[in-house]
Structure 1
Amino acid sequence: MSGPSNPTDLTIAPRDAGAAQARPPAAGVRALAPDLARGTMLLLIALAHAHMYLYGHETLFRGYRTDGGTVDRVVAGLQVLLVDGRALPMFAALLGYGMVRLADRHAATGADWPQVRGLLRRRSRWLIAFGFVHALLLFFGDILAAYGLLGLVLVGMLRARDRTLLLVAGLWTLVFAAISVLPPLAMIENGPAPLPTAVESPLAAILPRVGTWAGLTPMLALDVVTPMLLGIWAARRRLLDEPGRHRRLLTRVAAGGIGIAVLGGAPLALIDAQVWTDWSAGTAVPAYVLHSVTGIGAGIGYAALAGLLAHRLGNAPGLGNAPGLGGAPGPVVSALAACGQRSLTCYLLQSVAFVAVFSPWAGGLGGRLGDAAASAVALGVWLGTVLLAESMRRAGRRGPAEVLLRRLSYRQTPLASAGAPARR
């Protein structure tokens, strides 16, 4: 194994001998696969969050109501199988991937490791701040702060050897499995915790919402350490930047990861869909743990699948991509990628829409709709953000949340005036 001989060497992400040499992309060039993955996976985020706004009903392990009809139960089972605990790891993998690509771009401009590390830490701190404001105003289940916390604590892993990355990822998976025992035990013992989305007054909802967020954020961060480390490993090999060179590996990861997640998620999906009704603590707790751990497979599998699709669909004017990936994709892919480029803005807009539709002090539908109807609302909200992102792309406008995060992250830093790469 090879590693950095000096912590201030310009090589931001050391590689094993024989691994593909990093070639930082030119300024303004974007790989299609990560944007396509983010844009598509925002649908899963919307589906995973929408039913959390429902209230006035008893729920099971993943928050789906127990008094729903047949369609509600089918939707609950499918979402537990394919959505819940699956999109979060994929975004964590893309977080690790993106940190490496950002570090490489700045290293190519002449920045040293302390400068790049400072930028990444500053960006992570601002993500935590964004998450706090998100929870304060809108949604207790914010994921931005968890990703910011990960970036802040684990930025040093960008310099770790491959062997160290994989070893820590494997060991942490065991830790994660042990931690995953706690939520189902607590739910069986005390019942599901009441969610702050049911509070009647917008002012009265603030404290319970922020309190729930403060306890949930560290748990979410602990959940996705492994996929983030695997994302760092993947970025060193440019798996999503050059998917054509890695089709065989991406195919195996996509099939294996998603397949493992489906098999591992099936027991809990049957419980939450109320097909398996004679479960006990001795069967439900292992089912919950298995669902949680195999969600890592779905996360990296979905990201790999996005890489394969990007290779097939090719490059589109204005989107940017690694060269040699074929012809231009159609308008659907362009819109999905535009949504992925503006994923922070679109993610926050989802919460704005859900509060307006579901909250008892706004639209009030959270007390009247079932899980299937909530998922239909989620689909509509996601489609709306995709259309908005595409209109912004055509107008040549970036997402306002992305612009703000960039300005805050680069404020009072030499990188702001030392060749920071242009972004569309």
Structure 2
Amino acid sequence: MPATALEDRALGPDLARGLMLWCIALANAHHFLDAPRVLGGYPVRKSPVDEAVTWVIATFVDGRAFPLFGLLFGYGVAQVVRRHPLRARNVLFRRALTLIAIGFAHAILLYIGDIVAAYGMLLAFGAWVVFWRDRWLLLWAAVFFVLTALPAGGALESALEGPSAAELPPDVPTLLVERLPAQLVIMFLGPIGFACPFLIGLWAGRRRWLERPPRALWVVALVGIAAGVLGAQPLALVLAGFEPVPSAGDYGLIAALHTLTGTLAGAGYAAAIALLATRVRRGPVIGALAATGQRSLTAYLAQSVVWALVFTPFLLGLASELSVAATALLATLTWLATVALCVRLTRAGRRGPFETLVRRATYGREHDAARPHEGVRA
């Protein structure tokens, strides 16, 4: 089926995806830092500037970007079901297999923190639930919300671990040996953490809330973001070094609070961006962000090329040289580079290469019926 033309696409979802990719870059980059002591992916010894940057990222980005990603993913699935009601499951299964294949190659070759394969696994599950009644979607969203918010044993011990050999392999053989089992764990267990926002996004997508925002989204935006900011403070202050590291039990509690309120913040961000989209014109900046959102898979994978080049020990190997502030700057510049790439693709009337691949694998010959200047659904 032909893709939706750019001029017919709602701005809200695309704008949210474009901005989300900046948050994803900020959330990922600092986890490569290798230091004598780390806590939650941040070096323990930091400059005042690094402390401030850590607080900002831990408050507004960590544990907040990925729930937003999950919600938008579920929202996109609802759009697919709306367009293909009679063969939605078949379409979604094919898309799921394609995402698993892309994500697996991405994890082994570039970035072991890959979430594409995990979303492929989630989509394989989601293909069975897309026709559930609303109450079942919300009930299971609540179940997964509670499960992911439960305090995890060994949370402090995990937070004190630096990058593994899978993240910073010293050589190619180690890369291949260490990343395979790590990716299998992420791919099969990762969907548990994304299931709640995915189901909420699927429910909201049925109502097209991000395209036609109701007044209730103001409440979602205000409550979600406020809860995210307040709920992040106990952990953010510890990670930034403003408060001492608590006991293992207390750390598990504040980490669980951070996760729980992160899901609320993700929904709040999505609502706020959707409301913003109804009040802004598609100028150069908004258009560039929307173009990036339309090519979110390509932009996400492009970030990993930078991570691999900059941090891999047998390439530039800067994991021990950069600071938190430096990685935040690197993440921002990387995101801006992907925005520029997507703008260039838009002007050339082209989709992102990975959006083209997913669409071709999902729809086969129908892909070729779409005009090259048309947009790409998530």
1:347 aligns with 2:300: yes
> How far 1:370 sits from its partner (Å)?
1.0
8 A Cα contact 2:359 2:367, kept in partner: no
TM-score (normalizing by structure 2):
0.92
> How far 1:278 sits from its partner (Å)?
4.9
* Equivalent of residue 194 in structure 2, options 210, 224, 227: 224
Q: 1:213-252 maps to which residues of 2 (within 5 A)? A: 213-243=183-213, 246=214, 248-252=215-219
Q: List gaps (5 residues or longer) in structure 1.
A: 1-24, 314-327
Match in the other structure for 2:231: 264
Q: Which of 1 and 2 has greater Rg? A: 1
> How far 1:186 sits from its partner (Å)?
4.4
Aligned AA (1:339): T
Instruction: Output the CA distance in 2 between the equivalents of 1:33 and 1:79.
Output: 24
Q: CA RMSD in A?
A: 2.3
* Equivalent of residue 241 in structure 2, options 274, 279, 290: 274
In structure 2, relative to structure 1, the CA distance for the partners of 1:340 and 1:278 (3 Å cut) is closer
* Equivalent of residue 329 in structure 2, options 367, 376, 379: 376
> How far 1:420 sits from its partner (Å)?
11
Match in the other structure for 2:257: 290
Match in the other structure for 2:339: 386
Match in the other structure for 1:320: none
* Equivalent of residue 365 in structure 1, options 311, 318, 321: 318
Aligned AA (2:196): T
Q: 1:15-414 maps to which residues of 2 (within 5 A)? A: 27-28=4-5, 29-60=8-39, 62-107=40-85, 112=86, 115-178=87-150, 180-182=151-153, 184=155, 186-187=157-158, 191=161, 194-243=164-213, 246=214, 248-313=215-280, 328-411=281-364
Aligned AA (1:166): L
Instruction: Output the CA distance in 1 between the equivalents of 2:370 and 2:307.
Output: 39
8 A Cα contact 2:144 2:193, kept in partner: no
Q: List gaps (5 residues or longer) in structure 2.
A: none
> How far 1:195 sits from its partner (Å)?
4.8
In structure 2, relative to structure 1, the CA distance for the partners of 1:97 and 1:370 (3 Å cut) is same
Instruction: Output the CA distance in 2 between the equivalents of 1:287 and 1:32.
Output: 36
> How far 1:194 sits from its partner (Å)?
2.7
> How far 1:50 sits from its partner (Å)?
0.7
Instruction: Output the CA distance in 2 between the equivalents of 1:392 and 1:298.
Output: 31
> How far 1:224 sits from its partner (Å)?
1.4
TM-score (normalizing by structure 1):
0.83
Aligned AA (1:157): V
Instruction: Output the CA distance in 1 between the equivalents of 2:235 and 2:343.
Output: 37
**Greater mean alpha carbon deviation, residues 192-201 or residues 96-105:** 192-201
Instruction: Output the CA distance in 1 between the equivalents of 2:245 and 2:158.
Output: 17
> How far 1:151 sits from its partner (Å)?
0.8
> How far 1:383 sits from its partner (Å)?
0.5
Deviations 1:307-361 (A, max 9, x none): 0111111xxxxxxxxxxxxxx4210110000000011111011000121122222
**1:204 match: secondary structure:** helix
8 A Cα contact 2:3 2:375, kept in partner: no
> How far 1:192 sits from its partner (Å)?
5.1
Deviations 1:124-155 (A, max 9, x none): 11111111000110001001011111110122
Deviations 1:44-98 (A, max 9, x none): 10011111222243211x2111122121122112111111111111111111111
8 A Cα contact 1:55 1:197, kept in partner: no
Deviations 1:25-59 (A, max 9, x none): 99433211111011111001001111122224321
| Percent identical | 42
> How far 1:282 sits from its partner (Å)?
2.6
In structure 2, relative to structure 1, the CA distance for the partners of 1:389 and 1:57 (3 Å cut) is farther
**1:241 match: secondary structure:** coil
**1:84 match: secondary structure:** coil
**1:127 match: secondary structure:** helix
**2:42 match: secondary structure:** coil
8 A Cα contact 2:294 2:375, kept in partner: no
Aligned AA (1:285): G
**1:366 match: secondary structure:** coil
8 A Cα contact 1:357 1:363, kept in partner: yes
Instruction: Output the CA distance in 2 between the equivalents of 1:423 and 1:333.
Output: 15
Aligned AA (1:336): L
In structure 2, relative to structure 1, the CA distance for the partners of 1:86 and 1:46 (3 Å cut) is same
In structure 2, relative to structure 1, the CA distance for the partners of 1:102 and 1:145 (3 Å cut) is same
8 A Cα contact 2:165 2:175, kept in partner: no
